[in-house]
A and B are shown apart, each in its own frame.
Chain A
């Protein structure tokens, strides 16, 4: 290799090459078949959805590249996805995020099905209705039926939009486990001691937005989750990372309230912003394990088993090694094809198993897909239903 910059290759070509490489790799590993061979009965189900369906969405966040996941060098980091989940899943190899690559605004874009354009670090609600609002308003579901578990204060408003036709009172409940832990520890602990653990995010570690969402507070935890502050704090002492805490809380939610729509945003991977490759890889390995644990919980909980579809997708990737404008895995600032091109894994009793979908979709397509699954109309979303999974 001479000059390290990739020349004369358009972002689209790079994107397609990535998808092709990943697809070929997955075929080798799993023997997965093309969706074209299976396309048919699942498609077109649409609005007549059974009422007891449930969905769990997990964002494989924040920001993992192919290099460290589905490419040959990365396969050692995702044994659970590859060996346990992939054989049961329909896998979309070419999911592109065309929006702003900041974690909150990108997650909000997935949640609304519209590329939101607000400041990633502002404490604002999404401008467009969220999936939770469509779900609850169209299907007349109670507040307890839609929940978000999110990593940082910056996500406090993710559950409810500023849209006048939806908005107030129609969104999801939001649980910010790190905030709960902070409150649980505040009486006895030295703040400085826990600051590192409870930092709000990895991208701007010194920024903690003002909270103004519908997140539950510590004094509500016992009522909502049937979990005492002491038990919660004690359990936290046995967990390695904030994402483990999020999954712990998600399990409690599933057991106590069994929401039909549960959104879990994982974020440990974003430690990559610190520039430490080994910690970034540790984050991927942990997220891989947690995804498998969530799926196992779905299979074990009677309220979820055999009626739940799980969607796993990264919010976006990270910068490529070859783009001189970035610093490889560390950030997601260049907007290059590698940072925009990701994947989606879908598992459930009604989903074709061990199938790879090659065609390109966008991350905003998830919400219309959930709409078709549940039977609501994501009328303001710019995305399109992914017919191969619903």
Chain B
């Protein structure tokens, strides 16, 4: 099937809101090249479970493409049209399985040395579509907070090594009741600047009460869905013939309720949590990976103005000798390794935050939990400086919140 053959009936299997958007934009969709359209449909098919920021982004893309003259449209799509695809790709049910199509398209582009051309075209398109309209108004500046190193008594790793050039490094932070201070700051911002999915708390262990208006997810609360998904993966693995494509399709088709994720009554959040476990690598096993990936995805998709991440110790990776010597026993934790993971995770969260609109006003705090080290970034913080005087965590937070 080719894009020009699309009709409203092509989207009969789409969820209601996605179907409505597809029908409304049908004339535009029919003009898009095959190397581009399924990638847009991959976003559209899950429209019903998109965050408000994602919906706004899709609307901006449709507006950007729809406003163009014929010549502008041709120029915007030229790089995608030039890509050489195959008959096999055309024959995939890309309307209903756009994720499968995009995987196979990706493999084809790598194999035919077209991946660099595609990448350049995609980057160019995203930049132009993003610049085509004003950024949505933000209720306040963006704030990111990362609490790292829970459970580490003594540390010899040089913390915040990648973040230090961006802000001020504090070495004598007094932080009694520190997590409560951070959670209260998040709750205060949520109350003052209410917005759906605008304020997040991502917890690597068991979540602490975070207040109204704060979207909260935790690794521990997802223990049952994680176990369910791992059991499914294991079953597929043990099949007589393992088919990687079928495996990916199986993961993509799992519904939140099948993984035990329908309990909260928030279908959008349930879908998001499911995606963390089915699309993330390592998120099912390592709590540190879960927090970093969840923060990345929350920033990319929901674009919150407040994000608090708290890393908890992950399970320890056992050496080969230990695995051979020991009987099965409860996983041990690795606080020191988790601190190093979290230090890098905090850096990645800051990087991802800075990719969003309002980066020039955004602030960030990384704190070694229950210790005196913290790093604060923001317009009001000197870059590349160290402060060895005593500082209260609450005051630091107040300066950047």
Contact = CB atoms under 8 A, between A and B. Distances in A.
B317 interface: yes
Interface residues of A, number: 56
Nearest to A100: B110
Nearest to B347: A321
Contacts of B161: 73
A271 B286 CA distance: 12
A3 B355 contact: yes
B267 interface: no
B282 A274 contact: yes
Contacts of A197: 320, 323-324
B289 A236 contact: no
Contact of B282 (A1, A98, A192, A275): A275
Contacts of A277: 340-341, 343-345
B288 A276 contact: yes
Nearest to B287: A276
Interface string A1-24: 111110000010000000000000
Interface string B270-299: 000000000011110110110011001000
Nearest to B300: A324
B71 interface: no
B256 interface: no
A237 interface: yes
Interface stretch (B39-47, B55-63, B112-120, B178-186): B112-120
B299 to A, nearest CB: 10
B236 interface: yes
B337 A242 contact: no
Interface string A100-112: 1100000000000
Given A117-B112, A197-B324, A274-B282, A2 B236 contact: no
Interface stretch (A130-138, A251-259, A330-338, A373-381): A330-338
Contacts of A11: 116
Nearest to A336: B119
A239 interface: yes
- Consensus secondary structure, chain B interface: helix
A3 B354 contact: yes
B119 A335 contact: yes
A242 B320 contact: yes
Interface string A271-301: 1011111110110000000000000000000
B351 A4 contact: yes
Interface stretch (A53-61, A159-167, A201-209): A201-209
Contacts of B347: 321
Contacts of B116: 11, 335
Given A206-B237, A241-B319, A241-B320, A276 B325 contact: no
A329 B317 CA distance: 18
B4 to A, nearest CB: 29
Contacts of B323: 193-194, 196-197
B17 interface: no
Contacts of B112: 117
B226 interface: no
Interface of A: 1-5, 11, 73, 98, 100-101, 115, 117-119, 121, 185, 190, 192-194, 196-197, 204, 206-208, 236-242, 244-245, 271, 273-279, 281-282, 321-322, 324-325, 327-331, 334-335
Given A4-B354, A237-B325, A273-B281, 8 more contacts: A98-B113, A117-B111, A206-B237, A274-B286, A278-B340, A327-B296, A334-B119, A335-B119
Task: List the 8 shortest-distance A-B pairs measured between CB atoms, nearest first.
Answer: A275-B289, A274-B282, A278-B340, A278-B337, A275-B282, A277-B344, A240-B319, A4-B354
20 contacts: A1-B166, A2-B359, A2-B360, A3-B355, A4-B351, A100-B111, A115-B113, A118-B111, A185-B324, A194-B324, A196-B318, A236-B320, A236-B321, A273-B282, A274-B286, A275-B280, A276-B286, A278-B334, A321-B347, A327-B293
